[in-house]
Amino acid sequence: MKLRIVKPLSVLLVAVMIVCNAVIQVCAEAAGMPVQINAKSAVLVDVSSGEVLAAMNEHEQLYPASVTKIMTLLLVMEAIESGTLNLNDTVIASATAAAKGGSQIWLKEGEAMSVDELLRATAIYSANDACEALGEHIAGSEEALVAMLNERAVQLGMKNTHFDNCTGLDDATDTHLTTAYDIALMSVELLKYDLIRKYTTVWMDSLRDGATQLVNTNKLIRFYQGATGLKTGTTSKAGCCVAASAERDGTHLVAVVMGSPTSDDRFNAAKALLNWGFANYETVTLVPDEALLAEVNVIGGYKDRFKPVVEPISPLLMKKGSADVLEQSVQLVTDVQAPVIAGETVGTLTFSVGGKSVAEYRIVSPEEIKKLDFLEILRRLLSSFASFTKQ
């Protein structure tokens, strides 16, 4: 009798799961996603410019799980960059850090590890205790760390984010929330630091002389070409989440996926978004047409004219094929009054496709040109008079 009951129930459960997955996928298509994904929200962003290339429910507040750790990793990178933290610095685990549950390296209260070791444990294995120890070392306490996390989120423009901790553990909170878009913002900021790749691109490592094994929770690091990181997260509330970044041929993208039913779903979604991005976009190096940059006359200066230059141009993400029809136009003054400051704007260079501007850059003076003073004017007059009399 039990067999007759269990079998129909199991079939019904499978059917419900299939329907739920289908609904999520249909919603993804309805939201205008270029690929089919199984998730509650997602976004694909260009790392260099921050441009959103594809999005679905990207501003919906959801639980981020361990993707939260991106913010602590960012604080660590910034501290190292500023010189207030060193990879060889020793960190002493607090009772709070040692008590963290979930994924961990089983730190003991008072145990000493270097910043480098704890970074490896956090970025590769997503260890909650290691992340807490690092954060407390920077901020001084758990409470101060949470304040720093939220303050940095505000600075980055993460308008729909509130952190209650640095780990993403959400059993005891209903307010630890963020969005796919906000996660993309902090991911882009973290990826500005080349050092982070030393950790986020490692597949396997170990601590404590090999006694503690570390395997990256991000399977894309091993299997996806050009993967650069970044962070996974899973809880019963959050579902399966990932911020997955990859770089190919100078194009660096990050795909954030939140609320997938399974781990495979989140990785498949991230791969689909990244594949679509690399297939449809390319990073182009723009080269100004020097013929468009006419000399600028200087009125009342030590020099009569100068050849302007374009401010430094960053590589530009464009839809594939757009570079072939790229046009340049220049707006440039004919003359300026001395004094001229080095870097002074004298015009604008515009790159456009089909009449629509895709990038604008300042045209500037490459040097300082001082205004003629009375003595110099007199000297020039005398010199001209002397030349005239010799004739």
Q: Which of 41, 48, 94, 126 is catalytic?
A: 126
Q: In this predicted structure, what is the pLDDT of residue 390?
A: 66
* Same domain assignment for residues 26 and 42: no
Q: SS3 for 224?
A: coil
pLDDT in tens, 103-139: 999 999 999 999 999 999 999 999 999 999 999 999 9
Is residue 94 annotated as part of the catalytic site, yes or no? no
Residue 380 lies in a domain: no
For residue 137, how many other CB atoms are within 10 A of its CB? 21
* Same domain assignment for residues 23 and 77: no
Name the residue range of residue 363's domain: 290-374
* Same domain assignment for residues 133 and 234: yes
Judge whether residue 24 has pLDDT over 80: no
Q: Which of 69, 100, 231, 271 is catalytic?
A: 69
Shortest CA distance to 216 belongs to which of 244, 178, 239? 244
Give dist(CA 330, CA 362) in Å, integer: 10
Residue where a domain terminates, one of 282, 300, 317: 282
Is residue 126 annotated as part of the catalytic site, yes or no? yes
Judge whether residue 261 has pLDDT over 60: yes
* Same domain assignment for residues 135 and 88: yes
Phi and psi at residue 357, in whole multiples of 5°?
-65, 135
Q: In this predicted structure, what is the pLDDT of residue 377?
A: 65
Q: Which pLDDT band holds residue 373 (cuts at 50, 70, 90)? A: confident
* Same domain assignment for residues 62 and 163: yes
* Same domain assignment for residues 182 and 260: yes
Residue 381 lies in a domain: no
Residue 312 lies in a domain: yes
Residue 390 lies in a domain: no
Residue 389 lies in a domain: no
Q: Is the dihedral of CA 37, 39, 41, 44 positive or negative?
A: negative
Residue 391 lies in a domain: no
Cα–Cα distances (Å) from 31 to 8, 35, 179, 261, in that order, read 34, 11, 16, 19
* Same domain assignment for residues 141 and 194: yes
pLDDT in tens, 162-207: 999 999 999 999 999 999 999 999 999 999 999 999 999 999 999 9
User: How many structural domains is the chain composed of?
Assistant: 3
User: Which CATH number does the domain housing residue 299 bear?
Assistant: 2.60.410.10
Residue 385 lies in a domain: no
Q: Which of 40, 41, 48, 66 is catalytic?
A: 66
pLDDT in tens, 295-338: 999 999 989 999 999 999 989 999 999 999 999 999 999 999 99
Please state at what angle helix 142-155 crosses helix 128-139, rounded to 10 degrees.
80
Residue where a domain terminates, one of 222, 254, 282: 282
User: Which CATH number does the domain housing residue 94 bear?
Assistant: 3.40.710.10
Give dist(CA 200, CA 351) in Å, integer: 36
First to last CA, the chain: 125
